[in-house]
Amino acid sequence: YPSELIRNFSIIAHIDHGKSTLADRLLELTGTIQKKESGTNKQVLDKLKVERERGITVKAQTASMIHSFNGQQHLLNLIDTPGHVDFAWEVARSLAACEGALLLVDSTQGVQAQTISVFHVARERGLKIIPVLNKIDMPASQPERIAAQMQSTFDINPEDILHISAKTGQGVESILEAIVKRIPPPSGHTKAPLKALLFDSLYDRYRGVISLINIQDGTLRKGDKIASCHTRKKYEVTELGIMHPEELPTTSLQSGQVGYIACNMKNSSEAHIGDTLHRVGEPVEPMEGFQPTKAMVYAGIFPIDSNDFLKLEESIKRLTLTDRSVTVTRESSSALGQGCRLGFLGTLHMDVFRQRLEDEYDANVIITAPTVPYKVIYKDRTVLVSNPTEFPEVTDSTSNVKEVQEPIVNASIIVPDDYLGEIMDLCFSHRADSLDHRYLDSGSGSTSSARAIVTCTLPLSEIVTGFFSELKSRSSGFASFDYEEGGYAKSNLAKMVFLLNSRPIDALALIVHRSAQQAIGRAWVKKLHSIIPRQMFEVPIQAAIGKKIIARETLSAMRADVTASLYGGDVTRKMKLLENQKASKRKMKRIGQVDLPQEAFYDILKSK
């Protein structure tokens, strides 16, 4: 395919606006996949089980299709992008390999928070944007109103908007035509020295690392010797091809094409996303790479049965091969034993990772409360703390801590007017600052209310636990939310520890804002009281900040002789029970003379 017959595009949209459904239709229409009875949603691009279950795209996938237009065969490369804020880096990465994007908007919902953020990423990258209104088959569809919204928000001419139903296939043909007509072909030169962008990689048990690349210039063939600008390592291409939508080997890939390569790359840490590949002996200027991803939410992961640590660690290592944005270090806790401390891009990212761990590796894990990275500024140095156990005991004027800063995000929330008050309240209760709002449109009289966009700054720590679900429930599911990093700001924070019989439980330490310390302390102590089994003696459960006790409950004593309640004198039965009790003792953690089964931590930490 000469490059004038190639188009590289992606579909960008808010979550649930129909990206995967549209991708399926495009692949069917071009004969890339078989058409099933109409209306079924195979979502071939959503490969991972967790994606199918949750209906979200987590890892961007790529597929090539062939479309005949004006008697000429065109190669259309679709680069799928995830829709969720946590995965914004995947979006930026996918868009770097494209010249155009379909901006898909659900015509029953209108412009949502991520519609705005992905639009801006695409525009900044200079992509040709094709606006598309989806779900026009639905009775609640309001194409004119949403088109006006797109005009006022993005300065898009309503005449340029395509109206489709990805579900029924209505209008989808027009998208193929628009891709060919409106999106420019890639501008590289087939004869120039090889220059390829590595934009994703996956790990294959047999072939090692498979990299997804976009050839900017030149031609790549099987057997070619290539080198990485970043690591300077050299490789030989053993296999290459296009994703159609599964891997389809070809003899070469040329400028403008998107495809996969296998080379003798053994370790996935060698595949740097954003790296430039060139031919050995023909060095090129590296392309602007991607920002390295920064973990914003940290949590400890421990096996329920501490004997499983090595197995868990192995599973985590294998999983991070397919998701390199997760950072991993070892951590040990006196309460939970050996574990790993993982860094994630956000809480959904964390949930998805945990679910994948459970699905794919059958791991039973305990995850500690998520923590964001805090900056602790001492008189002579600044330390980034992402584990509460490393947070200084006291941060008042008597300590040598000058101040503590926490990460802030610039949040935007789009919500129907009726819920504006609720959402403002929600933001204030999560320490919002610089709260402001404006209207995206004026509504359409009785049928639907005006949509407002609320902007504010929020501490990141406030949105890592439960903010999303609160937002959804307080807006009856109508609010959409997006955020970007907003730097650090000084904050009044303290470390809260929980004491069992006066001994701290390290795995439960939290960093809290002073304004909420009472409420948080009380709630946790209550929860511990309800979950921790009673002992032979009375056990105080306390929440403390420094030396100060914030909250307390007392666990009353009980007799633990399990045989006491047995009727009669069945000796073997009695022996067996005592035996069982001994065995379970071994699995117990002993904190401040209190025996705690590891499962108790699971129960304590799983509920918010």
Q: Is 20 annotated as a binding residue?
A: yes
Residue 138 engages ligand GTP in binding (rule: CB under 6 A): yes
Does the annotation list 16 as a binding residue? yes
Q: Is position 337 annotated in a ligand binding site? A: no
Give dist(CA 195, CA 256) in Å, integer.
Answer: 11
User: CA-CA distance, 386 to 375, in Å (whole number)?
Assistant: 9
Q: Cβ 471 to ligand GTP, closest distance in Å?
A: 17
Rank residues 117 and 255 by Cβ distance to ligand GTP and give the closer one: 117
Kindly indicate which of the ranges 10-18, 123-131, 385-393, 450-458 contains the residues binding ligand GTP, using the contact rule CB under 6 A: 10-18
CA dist., res. 554 & res. 537, Å (int): 11
Judged by CB under 6 A, which stretch of 132-140, 312-320, 397-405, 438-446 contacts ligand GTP? 132-140
Are residues 88 and 117 in contact, defined by beta-carbon separation less than 8 angstroms?
Answer: yes
Place of tokens 């290459």: 240
Beta-carbon contacts of 527 under 8 Å, excluding residues fewer than 6 positions away, are 604, 607
Known binding residue 380? Answer is: no
Q: How far apart are CA 132 and CA 143, in angstroms?
A: 10
Q: State which residue, 48 or 340, has the beta carbon closest to ligand GTP.
A: 48
CB of 11 to ligand GTP, least distance (A): 8
Residue among 3, 6, 9, 17 that touches ligand GTP (CB under 6 A) = 17
The token duo for 319 is 């999983």
Contacts with 272 (C-beta within 8 Å, 6 or more apart), sequence order: 198, 228, 230, 231, 289
Residue choice 8, 21, 228, 254 for contact with ligand GTP (CB under 6 A): 21
The one among 3, 10, 20, 386 contacting ligand GTP by CB under 6 A: 20
Beta strand 162-163 with 6-13 is unpaired
Q: In this chain, which of 41, 190, 219, 501 binds ligand GTP, going by CB under 6 A?
A: 41
Q: Is 80 annotated as a binding residue?
A: yes
Q: Does 320 engage in binding with ligand GTP (CB under 6 A)? A: no
Minimum gap (Å) between residue 351 Cβ and ligand GTP: 14
Instruction: Please report the DSSP string for 376-387 in residue order.
Output: EEESS-EEEE-S
What residues contact 37, with CB distance under 8 A and at least 6 apart?
Answer: none
CA distance 107 to 141: 5
* Cβ atoms 357, 363 nearer than 8 A: yes
CB of 52 or CB of 576, closer to ligand GTP = 52
CB nearer to ligand GTP: pick between 112 and 216: 112
Kindly state the smallest distance separating residue 286's Cβ from ligand GTP, in Å.
32
15 contributes a contact to ligand GTP by CB under 6 A: yes
Q: Is 122 part of any known ligand binding site?
A: no
User: Which one, 146 or 372, has the nearer CB to ligand GTP?
Assistant: 146
Tell me which residue has its CB nearest to ligand GTP: 83
> Contacts with ligand GTP in 202-241 (CB under 6 A)?
none
**Residue 18 labeled ligand binder:** yes
SS3 call for 212: strand
State yes or no: residue 280 binds ligand GTP (CB under 6 A): no
Angle, alpha carbons 386-390-391 (nearest 5°): 85
- The nearer residue to ligand GTP, 26 or 550, going by C-beta atoms, is 26
Q: Write a three-state SS string for 91-147.
A: HHHHHCCCCEEEEEEECCCCCCHHHHHHHHHHHHCCCEEEEEEECCCCCCCCHHHHH
Choice between 19 and 74, CB closer to ligand GTP? 19
Among 31, 55, 193, 466, binds ligand GTP (CB under 6 A): 55
The yes or no reply on residue 505 touching ligand GTP (CB under 6 A) is no
User: Is 42 in contact with 36 (CB distance < 8 Å)?
Assistant: yes
Minimum distance, C-beta of residue 212 to ligand GTP, in the bound complex (Å): 18
Q: Is 6 annotated as a binding residue?
A: no
Rounded to whole angstroms, how far apart are CA atoms 236 and 225?
Answer: 5
Closer CB to ligand GTP, 105 or 499, in the complex? 105
Q: Does 25 bind ligand GTP (CB under 6 A)?
A: no
* Residue 310 neighbours by CB distance under 10 Å: 10
**Nearest CB to ligand GTP, comparing residues 105 and 212:** 105
134 annotated ligand-binding residue: yes
Report how far residue 402's alpha carbon sits from residue 420's, in angstroms, rounded to the nearest whole number. 39
In the complex with ligand GTP, the residue whose CB is nearer, 245 or 521, is: 245
> For residues 72-131, which are near ligand GTP according to CB under 6 A?
83
Q: Does 56 bind ligand GTP (CB under 6 A)?
A: yes
**Closer to ligand GTP by Cβ: residue 13 or 408:** 13
Phi first, then psi, for residue 274 (nearest 5°) are 95, -5
Rounded CA gap, 454 and 554, in Å? 44
Of the listed pieces 50-58, 342-350, 384-392, 502-510, which binds ligand GTP according to CB under 6 A?
50-58
Binding window for ligand GTP (CB under 6 A); candidates: 13-21, 327-335, 430-438, 525-533? 13-21
Smallest distance from ligand GTP to CB 21, Å: 3
Tell me if 592 is assigned to a ligand binding site.
no
Residues 245, 63 contacting (CB under 8 angstroms): yes
> Which x/- pattern over 154-183 shows residues binding ligand GTP (rule: CB under 6 A)?
-----------xxx----------------
All residues at 6 or more sequence positions from 340 whose CB lies less than 8 Å from its CB, including other chains: 300, 301, 302, 312, 313, 316, 328, 329, 330, 331
Annotated ligand binding at 241? The verdict is no
Asked whether residue 14 is marked as a ligand-binding residue, the answer is yes
Alpha-carbon dihedral sign for residues 471, 472, 473, 477:
positive
Other beta carbons less than 10 A from residue 135's beta carbon: 23
Q: Is 160 annotated as a binding residue?
A: no
| 3-state DSSP percent of the chain in helix, strand and coil, to 5 | 30, 35, 35
Residues near ligand GTP (CB under 6 A) are 13, 15-21, 41, 55-57, 83, 134-135, 137-138, 165-167
User: Residues comprising the binding site for GTP?
Assistant: 13-20, 80-84, 134-137
- Binding-site residue set: 13-20, 80-84, 134-137
